[in-house]
Homo-oligomer: A and B are copies of this chain.
């Protein structure tokens, strides 16, 4: 039971002290989350209240199922961008179909995460290599920031990749709205300064550090309040400043996702990508925070918790949610001890949907755009390109392709190209495994690479050590290498495959070994093996190779050479006497 309901674990030790710590954290996260929820709904092309809805039910559900003590789930920038990209071509923004598609996307992502959790398919997330994720998030951050420019400029522009956006912004540039631009520049500038400068400023005014810390996090709320008031006071909404407008008050009502099979088929790929990328972000934030307090997160349970949270989001009219990085760090730093802090945050957001929505009418979209721009700037990590270039050219290639394709062709193509390329490069690397032709170190029973050591070899014996498991990407390589050696040197009468580093031989490699055995037989050469690991040997016994083998399987390479070249023992003795 505790495996599936971690709440049963931590709720027993819940004290008054834990409660007060969780409540403080919840308050701070609530203040941070209100403008973020609105902003990410805007980014996804959805009505503002949808962002608030996605910050209520999912948080309560994560508190029940989540195994991380400090993770804060909710709408995040990258998933919101991916939502907009996935459904932008299916329906027009503002229509019930568009909202329905967003809800269906959250529902399907949630189902996929749940299925992956129950089937223990969390390893699928491994296929997203780090350079691909890092490149993808950087490129998404750039696209998101660029997409906000239209709100700052007060123009109508659109597009899901950088090229479309740039063209569209350029075309609409004459429509620029100056009051909007003023608000946008002020909000962005203030938030940018507040991120680093507000806390020292407040401390300088003599505030207590604890209070300064809390107030510093209210920067976004301050920007929202200030620009809303200005817009209201000067009636800027009648002068072309786009505002959030009427937001229906009240808690979300239970919703069913549209049961449209055609729609589900169309959003299946983006739903999977949102699920996997959201999971990767969640699990990496959760494990970072858990390790700091020497706690554990259960990767499979996180799949279930995140899946349930997304289904909860869909069924309360919300859109895809994820464990957010900055939000979780704030929650952790503010002292959250248990996932209950998330549930208290949900209460705070619910309160906002009940009573604060009228106050949002005059909130300018430009302010929300500023919030987003400042938030995503921390996602853009161009230094990673340099670091990766220095460390590994092939990883750099995967990262660069992911960034370029994401910028040029959109988020889905970007991720898919990056994953495909990194798998391809990985297979290419394993297709040419390291190998060594080995000879006997004089006076010992050791065998070493003839290129690196002074060793003795018998001209009739060709001993090759492969430092990699044998499987289909490198099976033919082994054949080519052995045939080349035997064709070039007619003295060879014995080939010994030295196998201490081979952990696995798959059916393709088995077939190659059988082919090598038969073909060498036709050429009058025997094939032997030495130092085969136990599990590999067990498996080979279930094949015909050992029966057909023209040579023998030796326990050690020394045994093999001694049997095939009686002179070897003398060499070893000779060496020993010398030594």
Chain A residues close to B by CB (< 8 Å): 123, 125-131, 283-284, 287-288, 290-296, 299, 387-388, 390-392, 394-396, 399, 422-423, 426-429, 431-432, 434, 467-468, 471-477, 479-480, 483-484, 486-488, 490, 501, 503-504, 506-508, 510-512, 515, 519-520, 522-523, 539, 542-544
Contacts and interface: CB of A to CB of B under 8 A. Distances in A.
A11 to B, nearest CB: 20
Copies of this protein chain in the complex: 2
A434 B504 CA distance: 11
A543 to B, nearest CB: 5
Contact of A523 (B292, B429, B510): B292
Most buried by B among A130, A283, A293, A510: A130
A307 B434 CA distance: 30
26 contacts: A123-B431, A123-B473, A126-B472, A126-B476, A126-B477, A130-B507, A130-B508, A287-B479, A287-B515, A288-B519, A291-B483, A291-B486, A291-B520, A291-B522, A294-B487, A296-B484, A296-B488, A299-B476, A387-B544, A390-B543, A391-B510, A395-B507, A395-B508, A423-B423, A423-B427, A426-B473
Contact of A504 (B292, B428, B429): B429
Contacts of A520: 291
A388 B507 contact: yes
B390 A542 contact: yes
A291 to B, nearest CB: 3
Contacts of A523: 291-294
A476 B288 CA distance: 12
Contacts of A395: 506-508
A474 B468 CA distance: 16
Contacts of A434: 503
Q: Chain A: interface secondary structure?
A: helix
Nearest to A288: B519
A539 B391 contact: yes
A130 B511 contact: yes
Nearest to A545: B391
A542 B399 CA distance: 18
A520 B427 CA distance: 32
Contacts of A387: 543-544
A328 to B, nearest CB: 14
Given A392-B539, A426-B472, A503-B468, A483 B287 contact: yes
Contacts of A293: 523
A340 B534 CA distance: 49
